[in-house]
Chain A
């Protein structure tokens, strides 16, 4: 049966079909069509984003998203994601989707492609390595059950942070304290984001995109906390709720500005997050960390348990020209 590749139509049916394929491949991280719609609606119009679907007999069995990364933008870099429904894998549809996307991107004279998959998916890894992709970064996923979390163990750290004058404030309490809380939160997020270990340097996000969270189906203001030192926003954590799995929360950007690191602020923030998660009724808080980031060690100390890791890959297509560059990969990843 041959595969017909065509552009994605943003109808409910096609969202459901694509989200269904992604959920079938990644049942541990299910998503909802409304979350996809929200994300698509708020994409940066200056960055390429395309989604194509692969049909067999009029039924969508695969899709691919590709384009420019808005959070770690490098001219000439394009991400390529291919998902084939598990019932239709090993029929050459993934290759056909990839070839279609690679041909579409060839017109743009790409410098390198990026892709990701998880280390417990040998077929997906082989799909990438066969095409010349090489791993660039490894991010172990880790899980914590907030229902069995021992808060007493960390009371001393919370107390020490508090006594040092740093307050942990829940986002719903911010507007009463600070009329400019959104802008301050955004600035803090930008500062922390720039220091997240990624294979390519992070890019500052747009304020519009930051604001789009207030309409996100995955946003609950009570799940977000800010560390404040004499009015200055110095650290943040947050969790995103799932519209599919009520027992699960996903860790959002969590970090402390450089001047305030190594004082227990990240731990104190996270404990507030875990308290929220416990009251929310979650049994899994999920996060992922670049494996050499001491944040991973901090999570393990908190009781997070490591799971299979996500892997970022890169395929270099040509030599950089004047003014272009391919960010160097600093860590060797053994597959």
Chain B
């Protein structure tokens, strides 16, 4: 597979055909490929029809890659997808095996993959290859048309009364030329507490700062909570370019010293009000199922939709035995 438009088109087309609720475009794939940390390992493969009138048609695509925010050495994400109508022919298996073979020179220790909880064939595919579920992430959706901000006025007010202010990135940029770095530092303080199979770490600053150039980024939709000069929380909404009216969230979190004071609620209420002001209809988010943040979202009016399952397979022998 190369960086041709045709390959990105095929990847996006197969993805969107399999997961129509989460449409992706070739441009999105190209953007993430071009903004990846160039030092990180990535491999992409495609399976093409070789005979007949459809010769050259891409019937499946797949990739393996290192994640930039994960410290687990030798951990790679693998994903293979097959065009609907061509499932059950062994194409996915062949592609998956080829990905694993391609990855071998990098000495992988942990493989991860994912599918959705209602996708029985995908679950069976991964389980038969020795993967097991490591985490469940619940998607949820907020319908802004019926959302009532007044129910949370008290929380917002008490946060304000405690001296914590909420400021959008569009204002921060004028106040503090170093705001991206401070956002990165705050991100780094919050991210180890994000539930994941492995400890998450802050990505390099250059990589993080690139997210502010992302076409989905909305400066006025990126909020931080400030306690005096200290940055204590963040929450943001991003636009779904190919799904007008829908916004999605990325990391929301509050530093440990400031938790359980309503700051996350106040940040989210502010983000929702902003979303409504620009005419958005829905906000979608996902949370690890046991994370209290999910409970907070439910209280804010989010309704669960589908859940994704993270899978994991350990390849390398981890140590055994006791210390006497």
Q: Give chain A's interface residues, CB within 8 Å of chain B.
A: 39, 71, 189, 192-193, 195-197, 205, 209, 213, 216, 218-219, 238, 240, 251-256, 258-259, 261-262, 266, 287-290, 292-299, 322-323, 328, 330-331
Contact = CB atoms under 8 A, between A and B. Distances in A.
Interface in B94-147: 107, 109, 132, 134-135
Given A258-B109, A322-B260, A253 B321 contact: yes
7 contacts: A193-B319, A219-B324, A252-B322, A253-B323, A292-B132, A293-B314, A331-B132
A252 B323 contact: yes
Contacts of B195: 328
Interface string B256-269: 10011000000000
B322 A253 contact: yes
B318 A262 contact: no
B312 to A, nearest CB: 9
Nearest to A331: B132
Given A39-B324, A322-B259, A196 B318 contact: yes
B317 interface: yes
B319 A195 contact: yes
Given A39-B324, A330-B197, A261 B317 contact: yes
Contacts of B109: 258, 261-262
Interface residues of B, number: 24
A192 B73 CA distance: 14
B321 A294 contact: no
Contact of B107 (A192, A251, A261): A261
A207 to B, nearest CB: 12
A197 B321 contact: no
Contacts of A197: 318
B270 to A, nearest CB: 24
B35 interface: no
A214 B145 CA distance: 71
B51 interface: no
B296 interface: no
Given A292-B132, A322-B256, A258 B316 contact: yes
Nearest to A35: B324
Given A258-B73, A322-B260, A330-B197, A218 B320 contact: no
A237 to B, nearest CB: 8
B173 interface: no
A161 to B, nearest CB: 14
Contacts of B319: 192-193, 195-196, 253-256, 295
B323 A205 contact: yes
A294 B318 contact: yes
A255 B316 CA distance: 10
Contacts of A252: 321-324
Nearest to A294: B317
B318 A295 contact: yes
B94 to A, nearest CB: 23
Contacts of A258: 73-74, 109, 316
B315 interface: yes
A189 B323 contact: yes
A216 B321 CA distance: 17
Contacts of A253: 319-323
B321 A251 contact: yes
Contacts of B317: 255-256, 261, 266, 293-295, 297-298
Interface in B300-324: 314-324
B321 A196 contact: yes
* A-B pairs, 6 with minimum CB distance: A255-B319, A261-B316, A295-B317, A192-B319, A253-B321, A258-B73
Contacts of B316: 258, 261-262, 294
Nearest to B319: A255
Nearest to A297: B317
A195 B259 contact: no
A254 B323 contact: no
A262 B107 contact: yes
A328 B318 contact: no
Contacts of B73: 258-259
A286 to B, nearest CB: 10
B324 A240 contact: yes
Given A254-B321, A298-B317, A328 B259 contact: no
A219 B132 CA distance: 38
